[in-house]
Amino acid sequence: MTFADKVLIRLADPATRDAVFDAVALEQFASAAYDTSRVAIQGPYSAVFEELRLGVAVGRRGVAEGQWGRLGSSEKSAAEFQVSGLGGTGVLVDAIWRGFIVARANAPVGRITSVTTSHADLAAIDREIVAALGALPSDPVALGQERRQRLVARLKAAVSEPPIVTDELVDRLLSTAGAAGVNEFFDVASRGAAFEPVRVTFSEGPPPPPPSPRPLPVAAAVLVRDAGFGLAQLLADSRAVRDQLEADALGRADDPALRSRQGVLVVWIVPAALFLDADWPGANPDARRKAAGDWLAREGIGLATAN
């Protein structure tokens, strides 16, 4: 029996279906489908299969454009048609899964006890320069350096972690304020914008409750491939499948509390032995699989392995 057939039989049987995806795979599925940096989720993970269709052919669509009109007339009618089959051979989707990835989430229990702000007084900075040098430098470059140095010092003094105040951060703040440089901010842009570091203090609060289940809706196209597949071709097939299923409105319903990355998740199931190949980045098979899964998650693809 082929590798793909063995995996499909395990997916088809409710008694073995839940074991097809391990915790590593489900965690990476969640990262591929959602921006999990904004959601405090953790394991254990599990999969819920509300709907599972096996052996689905997704045809490639081609676009036919044309125009017609009366001979000798400049008036033309145009049309565009999307026709299945014109785009080449279709892609076999081994399964379409609609359901949930169930993770665990901690409810926040801390409370804000104080909020303090620290206004960077730009006029005071200029007075400080005059006191130190006798006057503001006439050279714009020298003036900008003096102003920037003192502005950075005030910002660092106002925050709890001074190393976060970098030149890059200051440049970003100036750009956000619409200023081309520190002198323009001092002289013009500061009239409509200000830098005010805010320090927020939280209490520890009561002990947190146990993590509660958090269902993450998922609509996934499952592609099972044995060793020897072409990586570039499978990536192209994955994008074609996602585009087609999204065009057919087969994606999942959006959860307003979550920031989704993809409406349709594409899941690859490949042999675990694939990562014995040292050409994959990583020191050992587990590290190679983890690195590959993290990379593919950024492409909206979840990676699972099977024996």
Please determine, for residue 8, whether its predicted confidence score (pLDDT) is greater than 90.
yes
Q: Which helix (H) or strand (E) holds 106?
A: none
The 10s digit of each residue's pLDDT in 228-263 is 899 999 999 999 888 888 777 666 666 666 677 778
Query: Is-contact 298 16, C-beta < 8 A?
Result: no
Domain boundaries, the chain: 3-106+215-306, 111-203
Phi, psi dihedral angles at 299 (to 5 degrees):
-95, 5
**What is the tens place of the pLDDT at every residue in 56-103?**
877 655 556 667 677 766 676 766 655 555 545 567 899 999 999 999
Question: Per-residue pLDDT tens for 161-175?
Answer: 888 888 888 888 888
Q: How confident is the model at residue 6 (pLDDT cuts 50, 70, 90)?
A: very high
Over range 201-221, report the average pLDDT: 80
pLDDT confidence of 48, banded at 50, 70, 90? very high
CA distance 199 to 201: 7
- Measured from the Cβ of residue 3, the count of other Cβ atoms closer than 10 Å reads 17
Structure-block tokens of residue 213: 């289940």
Token representation of residue 126:
């200029």
pTM of the full structure: 0.60
Q: What percent of the chain has pLDDT over 90?
A: 39
In whole numbers, what is the pLDDT of the chain averaged over residues? 83
